[in-house]
Structure 1
Amino acid sequence: MILPLAFTAALSFAPLAAKLPADQKPFECSRCAAWNERVEPYRLAENTWYVGTKGLSSVLVVDDEGLVLIDGGLPQSAAVILDNVRKAGFDPRRIRWILNSHAHFDHAGGIAALARLTGAAVAAGRDGVVALTRAPYHPDDPQAGFGVASRYPSVKHVRAIDNGDTITVGHTTITAVASPGHAPGGMSWRWKSCHDGTCRDVVYLDSLNPVSTDAYRFSDHPAVVAALRASADRLAALPCDVAMAAHPDQLPTPKDAATTPCAAYAQEGRENLRKRLEKEDAK
């Protein structure tokens, strides 16, 4: 998540929000409106559609036996995501699983509503379950200092996932890739997309961005720094033909044909961490 600059009250939305279920009441922040702008769904790979908003990714993995949705944006993103699922030609009631990259308000905020509206089961990294079910943060999260200002609707039942665990729907298997550091329990997800005998590796990339409260110093938390570096190495090594980042604008273009989208993303994550540590050392 890229942290919004400020949390605001937005009283003009109060009458509308009052009519919505509690798990869909808009979360207000300085970037939320821009993040939540509608975009048309589009195909990423044969069995994979982008159904998210302009600034917050949500991906639909399609199998004849059912659908899997990855990430839920903000609470107010839920309706947009479901509209995009329908526009792409699919029935949201066929969503069997909702998977989470990491438990922050801008990627998990809509999951409670999406689960309620579709009946889908929810899965997340083991430490992410702590935040999803209690909202908003795991106590070891670099952003935990933001506290209740970042509260989003909690999810009642979440399956805990570890690195290498799989979710299978029909002939499609999605594998969890542990990606902690930006948030405890962070998970990326990978699967195959096949057509006419040719298969491509698709990866949904969790954030590697070292974002925190101003008071938090990554240099004082070597385990978190090590986790970010290990996550970058793990993602860089993945077979990766097609990728999508949790924020779509954070996916860099590879510099050459030999560099996969995942490797380019991992290298940018390493560079962001290096800059953050240098900034802390300079203070």
Structure 2
Amino acid sequence: MLRHHFNIITAILFLLFSSFLATAQLVEEPKDTPAEWSKPYPPFRIAGNLYYVGTDDLACYLIVTPKGNILINTGLASSLPLIKANVETLGFKFNDIKILLTTQAHYDHMGAMSAIKKATGAKLMVNKKDAAVAADGGSSDYALGGHGATFEPIKTDRLLHNGDVIKLGDMQLVMLHHPGHTKGSSSFLFDVKDGDRKYKVLIANMPTIVTEKKFSEVLTYPDIAKDYAYTIAAMKKLTFDIWLSSHSSQFGLHSKNKPGSVYNPTAFMDRIGYDEAIRDLEIQFFKKD
């Protein structure tokens, strides 16, 4: 009888271990992932209650409120310890993260999302158009999918639509639907207070083109050209004081902030740089098809 029970337990453990291995093999970051995506970068205060807690190039943002904190983007799965350390280096508790947001459902911004959600109990809010890709770990993404999951699949707690407001404590963030890069790429617009001054902040998901195919050949995303055109036009009309993005290289972080430099929110007030970036992306868009 004991041997019979032992054999059953052994079989169960073998199945569980096999399932774990299968999952581990399924969720695999592309081998050409840039080194700067996981390179550490010192966390710092951008403006008011907004902080940078990301890596050298993958931008992650912490918004602190009296009722808990909001984390936008998580970088790669391997960056979880780094993100956690950055949050705690700034003097905040990792478990105080209550809301998780993302600018796009790609592995370089969603890699550690599931693990952070499990560790903190935070609620994940995703653009409705990206929710299916989040749920299958990126395997159905029109550009990067097709070869299995690239990040751990995760269920969305709240589906967001264009113009929806995310509230926590004294903060209100407006989600802006900016599709193209992914079907549910999102930007966030909100105010932060800094002493007697207030800054309107835009965390922009820049409409970079990731597919090597012609737009007319992207059969799983028939509206891709229309979505890119919409996003570029919409982003031209936005007004803000400070702009940031999903990648530090897109908004010139390294030229605007040097590790250990004096706190200076005005360094990120760069309308000219934003307009130039959008104009360059528009040129690439017109050349595509």
TM-score by length of 1: 0.80
Distance in 1 (CA, whole Å) between partners of 2:28 and 2:135 is: 19
One-letter amino acid of the counterpart of residue 217, structure 1:
K
Alignment of 1:146-161 (within 5 A): 146-148=145-147, 151-161=150-160
Residue 118 (1) aligns with residue 117 (2): no
1:205 has 2:207 as partner: no
CA change 1:207–1:22 in 2 (3 A) is farther
CA radius of gyration, larger in: 2
When the two structures are aligned, how many residues end up with a matched partner? 250
TM-superposed deviation, 1:244: 1.4
Q: 1:34 to 1:258 in 2, by over 3 A?
A: closer
Question: Partner of 1:115: helix, strand, or coil?
Answer: helix
Find the counterpart in structure 2 of residue 270 from structure 1: 282
What is the Cα deviation at residue 88 of structure 1?
1.3
Unaligned runs of 5+ in 1: 1-17, 278-283
Please give the secondary structure, in 2, of the residue aligned with 1:76: helix
Deviation at 1:262, TM superposition (A): 4.0
Is the CA contact 1:123–1:160 (under 8 Å) kept in the aligned structure 2? yes
* Distance in 1 between residues matched to 2:164 and 2:66, nearest whole Å: 22
Q: Bigger CA drift: 72-81 or 234-243?
A: 234-243
Looking at structure 2, the residues matched to 202 and 258 of structure 1 have their Cα atoms a distance apart, in angstroms, of: 11
RMSD in angstroms over aligned alpha carbons?
Answer: 2.6
Specify which of 87, 90, 103 is matched with residue 89 of structure 2.
87
CA offset digits 1:98-117 (Å, max 9, x no partner): 10111111111111011111
Is residue 47 of structure 2 the alignment partner of residue 48 of structure 1? no
The equivalent residue for 2:67 is 65
3-state SS, counterpart of residue 211 of structure 1: coil
Q: Secondary structure in 2 aligned to 1:264?
A: helix
* Contact 2:28–2:150 (8 Å) recurs in 1: no
Letter in 2 for 1:270: E
- Structure 1 residue 240: Cα displacement: 1.7
Displacement of 1:275 in angstroms is 3.5
1:225 matched residue in structure 2: 225
Structure 2: distance between partners of 1:262 and 1:236:
9
Cα deviation for residue 26 of structure 1 reads 7.2
Distance in 1, Cα, partners of 2:271 & 2:77: 36
Residue by residue, what CA displacement relative to the aligned partner does 1:44-66 show, whole Å, maximum 9, x if unpaired? Answer: 11111110001211011111221
Query: CA 1:176/1:48 → structure 2, altered by over 3 Å: closer, same or farther?
Result: same
What does residue 261 of structure 2 align with?
none
2:17 matched residue in structure 1: none
For 2:234, the equivalent position in structure 1 comes to 234
Tell me what 1:39 maps to. Answer: 41
Is contact 2:243-2:270 (8 Å) kept? no
Aligned partner letter, 1:276: K
Give 1:150 shift: 5.3
Deviations 1:128-163 (A, max 9, x none): 111001121445x2x05x422552101133321001
CA separation in 2, counterparts of 1:265 and 1:158?
33
Taking the aligned partners of 1:64 and 1:261, their CA distance within structure 2 comes to 33
Structure 2: any 5+ residue segments left out of the alignment?
A: 1-19, 256-268
Change (3 A) 1:258 1:204: closer
- Work out the percentage of aligned pairs sharing the same amino acid: 24
The amino acid across from 2:174 in the alignment is T
Letter in 2 for 1:44: I
